[in-house]
Amino acid sequence: MKQYIIDAFTDKIFSGNPAAVCVLDHFPGNDIMQSIAAENNLSETAFVVNENGRYHIRWFTPKSEIDFCGHATLAAAFVLFNFYENEAAELEFAGQIGEFTVQRSGELIRMNFPAYDIEHIEITDMMIEALGTIPLAAYKDRDILFVLRDEDEVRNLQPDMELISKLDGACIAVTAKGTEYDCVSRVFAPKFGITEDPVTGSTHCMIAPYWCKRLNKTNITAFQASSRTGILYCESVGDEIIVSGKAVLFSINDIVGL
């Protein structure tokens, strides 16, 4: 089984978010995919199968399968465009979030995702204790998004991961208005064995609608302030968010122990 390691949402290796990608004729058993993801110990491993011209994609964290992952989709599209579909300008995907398309546009790969809802929720004492600060506002869909006061607060935040894992969201994100970029964010996902996710495409389906509305823009540039950092170009179009980014190949290897 051939496996590609791609750094997503960056144009240089050792930054962005690394994802493993396996392009297969058919999906192996769930236990095999989960074991491969655990062995890789990256935030996500994507498994992709061509089914009548549409690529069915599944995403696994080191602990479990997840319903949606943006950076591993970017990584998978990069692999397909560069090694399997060299002449293609667009790819069709299907996953747990439904069907969606991905296009290449120069150095960028554009992914058309459904936008998350932005439902305001009350801030609880547990949230405050988990974050170590009092957020300005909180919103929920699959993930929880906390709005903080400024970029420095986002960058310097040291949340309590045990308490973060107990909050009712798949991923826990914090964000604030940026100085160099429209917004700056960080994302934590200890429930899935990921203390801090380096760059998170899926959660920007919530972050981007919030800032597009707040800034009265249809296009924003988002910066994820993890130790690896990453840049996402987001566009709000109706009930979709187009999340675009660059990617770079780190390695190609063979899984030989199966």
Other Cβ atoms less than 10 A from the Cβ of 158: the count is 8
Give exposure, 33-64, as e/b (b: 16+ Cβ within 10 Å).
bbebbeebebbbbbbbbbeeeebbbbbbbbee
Name residue 195's amino acid: T
Alpha-carbon gap, residue 208 to 225, rounded angstroms: 15
Residue 44 known to be catalytic: yes
Alpha-carbon gap, residue 188 to 108, rounded angstroms: 25
Phi, psi (rounded to 5 degrees) for 62: -60, -20
The catalytic position among 39, 44, 153, 196 is 44
Positions marked catalytic: 44
